[in-house]
Amino acid sequence: MSKHIRDIIDDVLRGGFNPAFENTVATYRFDVDGEGSWLIKINHGTIFVFEGSGEADCVLSCGADDFEPIITGKQNLLTAHMQGRLRIEGSPVAALRFINTINSRAPKRAA
């Protein structure tokens, strides 16, 4: 199951670089019940993923069943949070922007 979580993360991130994060330096941690923890570190667009715990700017905790819909954006992050299916330590806005950005279909640069 652990590998599965990692696969889901890799599928969503689609590579180690996302230009939408070019101004971002932040660490997000997912704590998945019964599965473990994963750190996603972003440094000016470059993304690193590590299994295990550690310091993070924003920690998202959820059950194994909720993880995939939340990280892929199929389940709205804020309503998952409101329903009690997702705990957010840190800024909910930062978490929302992170999830939105990795799943975004919006133009990266506008006007």
Partner 1 sequence: MLGDTVSILEGDTFVVSNRQGDLDGTPTLPHGLFRSDTRFLSRWILTIDGRRPNALSVDDVHYSSAQFFLVPGTGTVYVDAPLSVIRTREIGNGFHEEIRVVNHSKDPADLVLRLEAGADFADLFEVKDALTKKGRQYARVEPDRLVLGYRREKFVRETWIMPSASATIDEGGLSFAVHIEPQGEWSTQIDVGVLADSWRTTPEPVKTRSRADAPRPAGGTNLAKWLEDAPALEASWPALKRIYLKSLTDLAALRYYPRVAPQLALPAAGLPWFMTLFGRDSILTSLQSLPYTPELAETTLMLHMLQGVTVDDFRDEEPGKILHEMRWGELTAFEERPHSPYYGSCDATPLYLILLDEYERWTGNGQLVRDVESPARAALAWIDQFGDRDGDGYVEYERRNKKTGLENQCWKDSWNSIVFANGELAKLPRATCEIQGYVYDAKMRCARLARTFWNDPALADKLERQAADLKARFNKDFWVEDGGFFALALDGDKRQVDSLTSNIGHLLWSGIVEKDKAKKCVEHLMSDRLFSGWGVRTMASNMRAYNPIGYHVGTVWPHDNSFIAAGLRRYGYDAEAASVSLGILEAAEFFNSRLPEAFAGYPREMTRFPVEYPTACSPQAWATGAPLLLITTMLGIQPVGEKLLTDPAIPVAIERIELLGVRGRWGHSDAAGRGRLKTAMKDVRLSAA
Binding site for partner 1 (CB under 8 A): 61, 76, 78-79, 82-85, 87, 91-93, 96-97, 100-101, 103-107, 109-111
Q: How far is the CB of 68 from partner 1 (least distance, A)?
A: 17
Helices 2-13 + 64-71 axis angle, to 10: 10
**Smallest gap from residue 28 Cβ to partner 1 (A):** 16
Question: Which secondary structure element, helix H or strand E, spans residue 64, and what is its range?
Answer: helix 64-71
Q: Which is nearer to partner 1, 51 or 57 (CB)?
A: 57
Q: How many CA atoms lie within 13 A of 41 on its CB side?
A: 9
Our CB check for partner 1 shows the closer of 29 and 97 to be: 97
**Please, what is the minimum distance in Å from the beta carbon of residue 3 to partner 1?**
27
Dihedral sign for Cα atoms in the order 9, 11, 12, 15: positive
